[in-house]
Each structure stands twice: as structure tokens, then as C-alpha cells.
Amino acid sequence: MPVIGFIEAIRQAIGEEMERDPSVFIMGEDVKLGAFAATRGLFEKFGAARVRNTPISEAGIAGAGIGAAMAGMRPIVEIEFASFFYCCFDQVCNQAAKLRYMSGGQARLPLTFRCVYGAMGSAAAQHSEVIYPQFLAAPGLKIVVPSGAAEAKGLLKAAIRDDNPVLVFEHGRLGFTQGEVPDGEYIIPLGRGAVKRAGTDLTIIAIGAMVPKALTVAEEMAKDGVSVEVWDPQTLVPLDEEGMLASVAKTGRVVIADEGHLRGGAAGDLAAIIIDKGFDYLNAPIKRVTALDVPIPFSPPLENYVLPDEAKIKAAVQEILP
């Protein structure tokens, strides 16, 4: 399998889908040059109409994406940094999320939003956010969080082909990683999680950029004879509950690692589902490893202190091993 970069995987997914389906187009701020390089080269290939450089006007862009989707196109809307989603919350949560429902199933919104999320080194509070928990509370949106290059390509292609509004969250730090991506047509269906490493003693449920960290911890702990399974939900909505509960049933112990905040976060949401539907499988309390409940600070020692890392995941694992 070819090894490619995370960003290249995204570029391939967009390029291939634009090639395949003339109704796919991309718009966003600086997509012409590609602020994070994910759209670089597409302008030259597909032209200004289908690679639409927009003004800085997130609400306008998001709404235009909704309207274009309702009127028969398949837009990909890039919202540079996840935090900028706040500028278009109404369009995403009040409009995109609800239009199909409110119209009694009439409206079709084949719309993909993409953004870069997470802490990437002293970008401070307004550029370091994990914002998908906010969208978990808005039914009607699918939420995708790839953990590596293959996932980025496979999930993004599925998102673009989906007939619903899908939000794809690409971690800024993963932008520097590479991974094996299968050749040719490669799609990961939305709503299917994956065991990224099999184990029997404990499950780390890891989201997005926490997956490689969880794998590192699992490898380390294997040396001490502890068998850790790493499970990646891949999509938070729809959620592969069955897959998640199967892993919990197998190991009986759960650590959930997410870079979002503790309160109101995705880790809490998954923990609640496990307690609801898999309480009998549990041999220990569920541990959540997340960012602390403060805005992400600027200064490196503060940022490190607030963010979850391998050491914090490992400590949580050790805490609930028998």
C-alpha cells in the first residue's frame, strides 16, 4: 500500500470526488491557494467555478452551501479552523441540521463541511478548539473524525457522497503524519468504528488525534504484559454502538481519550452510552482522559498541562487495571 500524507489523502479524496461527480464543488476562504494545502492544485485542475475562493464570511458561505445542496449540487465547504464555526452556528445548527426534519423529509442536503481542529502548538484559545461536542447536541448533522491518512480519505469520500450534512474534523497535528492508504477506490462507510489494535484487558476508545497516542500507550503496555485494545469510533454520528459495546464486552474496562473538554464533551457522551447499554460488561469505572475545562492557553507549559497526552492516558489505564 502506498504511504501518503494526511493532507495528501484529503486532497485525493476531494479531487477524486470532483472528477467522479460534476455536482461536487468546494468553496471556502483561500481554497485557491489552500491555507492548509489540502486544496492545493485543485483550482488549476478544476477552475474557479468549482474551486471557489470566498470572502471571509462564514455565515454566508455555510448558508450558500446549504442552498446549493438543496438545489442539486454537492458542495464541500471549508471552514479553515474549527473555532470559526461559531461564526456560522445558525446556518449549521438551525438550518442545515433541521431542514430535512422540518420539511418532513423533503429536503436533501448532500453537504460536507471540513475544518481543522485541535491544538497544534500555542495557537491559543481561538484556534485550538475541539468543537464537535457542540454539534453532537444538534441532531441532524453527521460527525466524522479521522485518525490518520487512510481514515481521512475513506471517510471524506463517504461524507461527500452522503445525502446529509456531514462535518469532517481534521486534526491540525495529524496534518504532519503519513499513513498507508489503499490504492484505488477506498471508502469507509459512515457509522462504522474500527478496532485499531486488538487486546483483551482494556479498551481505549480514542477519537481523532488521540488514536495514534492510544496506540503508543498500548504498545508500551504490551511490554508489561497488558493487552490493550484500541477502538476508533471514526464517526461520532452515526455512532457504531454495536462495535463499541462489543469491545467493552470483550475487555470489561474502558478509558476514553478525547482532546475535547471534559464537561459536555464527546468522552462523556460515549461513557453515558456505555453505562446505559453495557453496564453489565464493566468491571471498573470508565475513565475519561480529556483536556481540562479551561480555554486552551497560549504558553507552552500551560498548554501541555491542559491537554491530554500519552502519560495521562497511561495513568488512566493503570488506574483501572485489576
Partner 1 sequence: MQATTLAKEQLFSMYRMMVTIRRFEEALRNLFFQGQIPGFVHLSIGEEAVPTGVCAALTDKDYITTTHRGHGHMLAKGGKPKLMMAEMFGRRTGYCKGKGGSMHIVSYDLGILGANGIVGGGIPIAVGAALASSFRGNDAVAVAFFGDGASNEGTFHESANLAGLWKLPVIFVCQNNGYAEFTPTSESTAVKDIAIRAQGYNMPGVIVDGNDVLAVYEVVKTAVARAKRGEGPTLIEAKTYRWEGHVVGEQAFVGEYRPAAEIEAAKQRCAIVLFAKKLLATGFIEQAELDRIAAEVQRKIDEAIAFAQSSPFPEPQEALDDVFAP
Ligand X SMILES: Cc1ncc(C[n+]2csc(CCOP(=O)(O)OP(=O)(O)O)c2C)c(N)n1
- Which residues are catalytic, by number? 127
The one segment of 19-27, 45-53, 79-87, 114-122 that binds ligand X by CB under 6 A: 79-87
H or E, element range at 158: helix 149-161
- Binds ligand X by CB under 6 A, chosen from 56, 198, 311, 315: 56
Pick between residue 56 and residue 321 the one whose CB is nearest to ligand X: 56
Residue nearest ligand X by beta-carbon distance: 84
List 203's β-bridge partners, or say none: 229, 254
User: Is position 29 an interface residue for ligand X (rule: CB under 6 A)?
Assistant: yes
Taking CB under 8 A as the criterion, the residue among 198, 275, 294, 311 binding partner 1 is 294
Site for ligand X contains 129 (CB under 6 A): no
- Residue with Cβ nearer partner 1 (1 or 125): 125
Among 25, 36, 84, 169, interactor with ligand X by CB under 6 A:
84
Compute the least distance from the CB of residue 74 to partner 1, in Å. 24
Total site size for ligand X, rule CB under 6 A: 6
Closest approach of Cβ 123 to partner 1, in Å? 6
| Binding partner of 283, given partner 1, ligand X, none, CB within 5-8 angstroms per partner class | none
Q: Which of 268, 256, 320 is nearest to 293 (CA)?
A: 268
Are 56 and 35 contacting, i.e. CB atoms less than 8 angstroms apart?
Answer: no
**Are residues 111 and 91 in contact, defined by beta-carbon separation less than 8 angstroms?**
no
Q: Contact between 80 and ligand X (CB under 6 A)?
A: yes
Task: Rule CB under 8 A: choose which of 27, 79, 123, 152 binds partner 1.
Answer: 123
Residue 161 makes CB contacts below 8 A (sequence gap 6+) with 17, 110, 187
CB 139 within 8 A of CB 97: yes
Q: In 3D, which of 266, 274, 166, 128 has the Cα closest to residue 207?
A: 266
Distance CA 59, CA 292 (A): 30
> Please, which residues bridge with residue 116 across strands?
81, 170
Task: Give me the residues paired with residue 202 across strands.
Answer: 228
Rg (CA), the chain: 19
x/- map, 36-65, partner 1, by CB under 8 A: -x---------------xxxxxxxx-----
- Could you say which of 94, 200, 283, 299 contacts partner 1 (CB under 8 A)? 299
Please check whether residue 199 is in contact with residue 227, taking contact to mean a CB–CB distance below 8 angstroms. yes
In the complex, the residues that contact partner 1 under the rule CB under 8 A are 29-30, 32-35, 37, 53-60, 83-84, 86-87, 121-127, 292-295, 297-306
